[in-house]
Structure 1
Amino acid sequence: MNTRLGVANTDTGPRPQFWYGLPRGYLELDLNPTEEGVAELARQISALPEEARDRADETFRLYAMTVLLLQKQPVAVCALGMHPDGNGKASLSVLTISAFPSGGVNPKRVLAGMVGGHAGGNASNGMQPIELPVGIGFLTEQVRRTVAPGVPPEGQEGPLEGSVWQGTVAVPEPRTSSIITVQLVTSSVELADDYRSVLLGTARTLTFTDPTAEADQGTGPVTPGSAAEAMQSDFG
């Protein structure tokens, strides 16, 4: 687990404030870059050697498109992950944390009702309750088809498609009647078990209380099972 702690504020009101930890191998994107920052990044790319410039320019364009899409959603945190897949290649994933208002309704009751709507609900066909340091959470996951990057084979109509594994942990935040979601998506479907562990590990770092406050007060060792302990966990 990265040692840096993140604090997120959302644009929905009232605004839930939460802290989180990012797994190793994830780089957080700036979802609100300044014009000066974007211009400086473009300048740096134009100054790269020709052999590296095209690849960097593609990455820059992808980043710009991703930011534009996420700015239209209640996404507070987005991080890109790159890890070895065991076959000498890189496995890519996207981790997001979002906050959704529940319209003044008790968010825990909303999520519990969704679980009840799936007889024998479990993570693959419904929502499964899980215990987290902040209280009860709800896990769901699915494998779905989506548009994939790349050029479709000759003769194929429509965009190229591929399968992705998507896991989501929803956590009620009663103080603001919001639902915080931690979501992880990857095209490495065969590594779903590993990414599920990363997802759950990230969800366990979620806290609505500043975890640095206790450390600043020098209250001693970290309490087992607390959010602060989860922040220190190394789950890959």
Structure 2
Amino acid sequence: MTVSTTTPQDTRRPSFWYGLPVGYISMDLNPPTEQLLEVINQLRGLPDGQREEADRALRLYAGIVNQLNTNRVQACALGMHPNDAGGYTTSVFTVSTLPTSGSPKLVVAGLAGSASDGKDEGTRPLELPSGLGYLSEKRLPAPRSSRRPELNDTLPSHIWQGIVAVAAPSTPELIVLQMVTPDLDSADDYRNILLGISRTLTFTDPERATADGRPAQGSEAPTGAAAVMRNDFG
């Protein structure tokens, strides 16, 4: 699945594309009431075990959606994957932009350098097709609901958070890819998913293969970013 993120020109943010693996559904950060009711009806139609896991994931999403809307988040996807125990693991993936006071490439280079020197535990540099980036991962207390505190007992106590940041090519911003899951035992798997998505990140439309920007005609094999997406996610 290829996802494009295109923002209005007056925001001066670049357009970028990335791939999502199977098991992720893009979520609306400002969903209409009708859409929420449709999701709830779909959850009600799931078998008992799946419905419980899906409801847990939806509550996790609802607990952090307010934070997403205030932190320049441009896209959000909810993930659900079967685990070895016969149940499901859940995750939330987001893409956001982070303004910088100087050159974003220098910011990334500085953070990546600190990671290489071991000064920032849990962080390491990344060489990505879209440029130099870095990976940061932490175990954090799970967000709590202030509006509906009765739900807090059903939420996980901690979450795993992985972040990949890459410099935007033409604006003083970082593109931040974040993966969060309450399943701490599956952190390695979700780190690999996050890294796979980050390798597909591109600032060039993967459907455009010609130098003048026109869509390629009759192309049988993908090249560039499109090939990377196919390699990572089929």
Unaligned segments of structure 2, at least 5 residues: 146-150
8 Å Cα contact 2:16/2:202 also seen in 1: yes
Change over 3 Å in CA distance of 1:89–1:173 after alignment to 2: same
Of 206, 210, 213 in structure 1, the residue corresponding to residue 208 of structure 2 is 213
Deviation at 1:44, TM superposition (A): 8.5
Matched, 1:222 2:222: yes
RMSD (CA atoms): 3.7
Aligned partner of 1:167 in structure 2 is 162
Compare CA radii of gyration and give the structure with the larger one: 1
Unaligned segments of structure 1, at least 5 residues: 153-158
The answer to which of 85-94 and 141-150 deviates more is 141-150
What is the DSSP-based 3-state SS (H/G/I as helix, E as strand, rest coil) of the residue aligned with 1:27? strand
Q: What is the identity percentage for the equivalent residue pairs of Structure 1 and Structure 2? A: 42
- Alignment size in residue pairs: 220
Change over 3 Å in CA distance of 1:32–1:233 after alignment to 2: farther
**For 1:176-221, what per-residue CA distance to the aligned partner results, in whole angstroms no more than 9, with x for missing partners?**
1110011111111111221111000000111111111128313563
8 Å Cα contact 1:115/1:121 also seen in 2: no
**For 1:130-178, what per-residue CA distance to the aligned partner results, in whole angstroms no more than 9, with x for missing partners?**
11111111111112222468554xxxxxx97622211111001131111
8 Å Cα contact 1:148/1:161 also seen in 2: no
What is the DSSP-based 3-state SS (H/G/I as helix, E as strand, rest coil) of the residue aligned with 1:196? helix
In structure 2, how many angstroms separate the alpha carbons of the residues matched to 1:183 and 1:233?
21
Match runs of 1:1-236 below 5 Å: 2=1, 4-9=2-7, 13-33=11-31, 37-39=32-34, 41-42=36-37, 66-103=64-101, 105-117=102-114, 120-121=117-118, 125-147=121-143, 150-152=151-153, 162-214=157-209, 216-218=215-217, 221-223=221-223, 226-235=224-233
What is the DSSP-based 3-state SS (H/G/I as helix, E as strand, rest coil) of the residue aligned with 1:230? helix
8 Å Cα contact 1:75/1:98 also seen in 2: yes
Deviation at 1:50, TM superposition (A): 11
**For 1:44-72, what per-residue CA distance to the aligned partner results, in whole angstroms no more than 9, with x for missing partners?**
968x98999x9899987876665444222
8 Å Cα contact 1:10/1:76 also seen in 2: no
TM-score (ref. length: structure 2)? 0.76
